[in-house]
Amino acid sequence: MQRRRTSKKVFMVGLVLLCGMYSTRLWAQVNVSGKLGLIYIPTAEVQEDGTFSAGYAYNPKNYAFRFYKKNSESIAFVNLAFLPRFEVNINLLNPNGPIPFMGKGIGDRQIDLKYVVLTEKAKRPSVAVILSAPFGIDNSLITNAVVATKHLTLTKSITAAVTVGVGSPYSIYRAEVKNSQNSDILSGFTLTDKRDKPYYYLAGPIGGVKFDFAKKGGVMVEWDSQHLNVGAYALLFKHWTVQAGLLNGDQLTLGTSCAFNVLRLPKGLRKHEGA
């Protein structure tokens, strides 16, 4: 337990240090799994090529995906936009509090792919497809969804981003029960319905709106296919985002992330190069 807490602290300190190295503003408002989004739902927004983000989210006990009503969850994630309109996201979910190692393992690992099929124009929204790689064993945050996002300028400093979409209730996953049977990732696939679980992630109509105030913060409201959630976020030091949400008017979720462009040199190196 102490080792896990120390690892979280090191991870958070590393995020802050990375944020301080870069000066160009990058927006990194992400959802609970690390994708551009609101609280739970993703959006079809496009990141600048080369944008790398990393962060952490706290998911409360009553809305835990894998440890429903038993333990709150910690979700660490990284995301990279390494091709135009194409992103890869990796997240790791672990329970908080005491739990036998055999019930937790090293965590619930997941890889997601996002491709923006249509970019946003004056009269059309951006449209993205998000798919989870089916190599994990019964992943908790499986996202097979299509979403559309449109930005609306309300005032000189206030912008609204409206997102609608649908998450598939069905997913393909690997049916092995034990990680010791996880040697062949290309076998053991089965079709499952998320709605058979006590609590599930994005299965049905989803939507929400995010109000951004001068790219410094904002508020958001969403329907995650089961509950109505509200939240707020702020951008600090041009790269560091902190956010909080209230799930179903009941429990708080918290998150933070840092984004920078790996194709740009840090501020100090740019000054040195120009000297």
pLDDT tens digits, 192-242: 888 888 889 999 999 999 999 998 999 999 999 999 999 999 999 888 999
Q: How many domains does the chain have?
A: 1
Tens digits of residue pLDDT in 29-73: 899 999 999 999 999 999 988 999 999 999 999 999 988 999 999
Q: Residues 238-262: what's their mean pLDDT?
A: 94
Domain contains 274: no
CA distance 166 to 221: 16
pLDDT at residue 5 in the model: 53
Q: How far is CA 60 from CA 205, 241, 252, in A?
A: 23, 20, 7
- Band of pLDDT at residue 189, cut at 50, 70 and 90: confident
Question: Does any domain span residue 205?
Answer: yes
State mean pLDDT over 248-255.
96
The reported pTM is 0.82
Q: How far apart are CA 18 and CA 78, in angstroms?
A: 13
Residue 94 parent element (H or E): strand 86-95
State which residues form the domain around 50: 2-262
Q: In this structure, is residue 271 part of a structural domain?
A: no
Return the residue matching tokens 């194709």: 263
- Tell which residue, 195, 219, 217, has the closest CA to residue 209: 219
- Any bridge partners for residue 163, and if so which? 149, 208
In a domain, 273, yes or no: no
CA distance 145 to 203: 9
List the structure tokens of 187: 């076998």
Give the pLDDT score at 201.
Answer: 94
Tell me how far apart the alpha carbons of residues 128 and 148 are, in angstroms, rounded to a whole number.
6
Is residue 181 predicted with pLDDT exceeding 50?
yes
> Are residues 108 and 94 in contact, defined by beta-carbon separation less than 8 angstroms?
yes
CB atoms within 10 A of CB 41: 27
pLDDT of residue 254 exceeding 60, the answer is yes
CATH at 181: 2.40.160.40
Would 270 be classed as within a structural domain? no
Residue 272: inside a domain, yes or no?
no
